[in-house]
Amino acid sequence: MSFFDDLAARIEAADSVVSVGLDPDTDRLPDEVQDADLPRWAFNRRIIDATHEHAAVFKPNAAFYEDADGWRALRETVAYAHGKDVPVLLDAKRADIGNTARQYAEILDYVDAVTVNPYLGEDALQPFLSREDAGVFVLCRTSNPGGMDFQHLELAAYDRRLYEHVAERAADWNDQYGNVGLVVGATAPDELEAIRERVPELPFLVPGVGAQGGDAETAVEYGLNDDGVGLVNSTRGIIFAGEHSPEWAAAAGDAARTLRERLNQYR
């Protein structure tokens, strides 16, 4: 089965399109995990226990694991999430050329999907795309304000904006490989709608609901494809919902459940 087949099955089983971001900022971890051998893993394990029944996917961001203990923590996290029957999408935004791209793509031996940057073009993404059992989410219209610096540029030769061109190229890649989705932020609802109109078949990963204030209804209406497959991510709004509380894990579980119920109103 492909990643998106597995994801569709997980969405149905959990009745959820919630992506729970696992970004264990070491400056914000609760005291009770600080003395663990791997504090980030100890934190993630508690978060996974509290949220897995509400999660369609777990989404660790590679930036929070890029040291020796961090990679160990990530491997433990991925294995534990898989033990709960939840797929793992690594938010790494990778792309490069030649041997470097092939090395980056080896992460797909361990995780189920990855985010990639399309700026270097198809050959830089081919090592990811060729892993047809894995999911490849291409950055398209990101949720940060600076995304407009380049993503909104008009392409005169194509009569469209750059992010629209990225979406259509991603659709072409999906026609060839069958494993491509897009990253489209919930903080840009007009663009989210416009992209959906161009590529109705692609699943979206929609960040920005939660701490960034994106609109949940729009995220669901345009983030899911015609088959109801897609993901709406929240990270800080879930994992740090109980920050400074002794019941921080339970608070994360409550936040994940609340987001699932909120999104399900519009599915």
Q: pLDDT tens digits, the chain, 267 residues: what are they?
A: 799 999 999 999 999 999 999 999 999 999 999 999 999 999 999 999 999 999 999 999 999 999 999 999 999 999 999 999 999 999 999 999 999 999 999 999 999 999 999 999 999 999 999 999 999 999 999 888 888 899 889 998 888 899 999 999 999 999 999 999 999 998 788 889 999 999 999 999 999 776 555 688 999 999 999 999 999 999 999 999 999 999 999 999 999 999 999 999 999
CA 43 to CA 53: how far, in whole Å?
17
Residues 6+ apart with CB under 8 A from 127: 101, 102, 104, 105
CA-based nearest residue to 55, from 108, 115, 113, 13: 13
- Catalytically annotated residue among 93, 257, 262, 267: 93
What's the confidence (pLDDT) of residue 46? 98
Token pair recorded at residue 199:
């590529």
CA 207 to CA 182: how far, in whole Å?
11
Q: Is 59 noted as a catalytic residue in this protein? A: no
CA 170 to CA 178: how far, in whole Å?
10
What's the confidence (pLDDT) of residue 214? 67
**Pairing, β 154-155 against β 18-22:** unpaired
What's the confidence (pLDDT) of residue 76? 98
Q: Are 70 and 44 in contact (CB under 8 A)?
A: no
CA 37 to CA 213: how far, in whole Å?
35
Residues in the chain: 267
Q: Are 239 and 46 in contact (CB under 8 A)?
A: no
What's the confidence (pLDDT) of residue 188? 80
What's the confidence (pLDDT) of residue 25? 97
Q: Which residue has the tokens 């990778």?
A: 94
What's the confidence (pLDDT) of residue 148? 84
Q: Are 252 and 7 in contact (CB under 8 A)?
A: no
CA 138 to CA 94: how far, in whole Å?
10
